Amino acid sequence: MHSMLTCNARNFRLFALARNRRFCPQVPPPVLLRTASAAAGPPFFCRRSVPSPAPTAPPRRFHTSPRRSAAPAPLLWLLLKPLQKVAAMLLGRSLRKWWNALPENRRELMREWVLRRRWPLTGGVAVAVVLVALLLLTHLDETPLTGRVRLPLFSREAYLELAALTAEGYLEEFAEHLLPDSDPLHQMVDQLVQVLAERNKDIPKVSERPWSVHVVKNHQINAFVLPIGKVFVFTGMLDAVADADQLISVLGHEMAHVILDHSAEQASLSHIVDLLSLLLLTAIWAVCPTDTMALLGGWVKDKLAELMFHRPYSRKLEVEADQIGLQLAAKACADVRAGPVFWQQLEITDRLSGEPSLPEWLSTHPSHRNRTAQLDRLIPQV
């Protein structure tokens, strides 16, 4: 494998050399002599003749394939995630069938072997856990404004590449529903976003990226911001807000997600939970006597992971974005009291429409009532 990689690297260098330089004799360029004279004025250049080289055969053109960039790490993880799950299921199922095919005396011998070496095995597992814990502790990071400790697994550059691909997909999906830049609604949203960016330019993650606005003609009450600074606002959101102060509060909340790198943080948590889930899924398929019970156990495992890790963590990040978003809106001279009023309006709208609302522990976002109370507590601080 090492020799193959070395050979590929050598070939790549040759291809790069061939792309930049053609395989032909080098012709010396004409030499320019710089002369100057006090009476003649400014210096000028004259050409010195150089002997022409002997005629040669036409140079061979060396064609190379276009350069291709590697896929971002988060995208590769998303693509490999189903395959990892299938591999864990097959591994557990193979272990179960292998164990059931063993004669009873072999099983007893293996049990005795494990019992005799239980302390060395336990020590090995403990050492592995300590090493993994130390590795994770050395990669801890803090959020830029709140100082909360977190564990990012993906680099910011890789996630920005993924965000660029995501933006291209959204622009293609909403191409027929985007309002033109000359539309008054687009101009209003763009002006508010630029005010937020200008008043908060002391924050590096605000000033280091360009903020662009895309207004989508859609009745959904939705708005989101991608990590590369592309702001998407649905016209349903513009119909739901009562004034510019409420819209600034919403935009500040969405921009806070970007400033705090919440999308990369959620992907890192999902990656850690999924890796642990693979071990548990392998054990489930190895222990359960039938495939049906193993499928049921895997489904229960997925639901528990969703309710115990993903959704509570998502609600935590939403509360943090509410806090920072309120600070961004206050620095933009918006009336921050409009933020909790907006969520009260949404709560009343949901009640009047008769739509059933999920309990907060089943949702990825705090309830409208709890969100309003949280914002009311934060207003005196900002």
Active-site residues, by number, are 254
- 342: Cα within 13 Å, side-chain hemisphere: 25
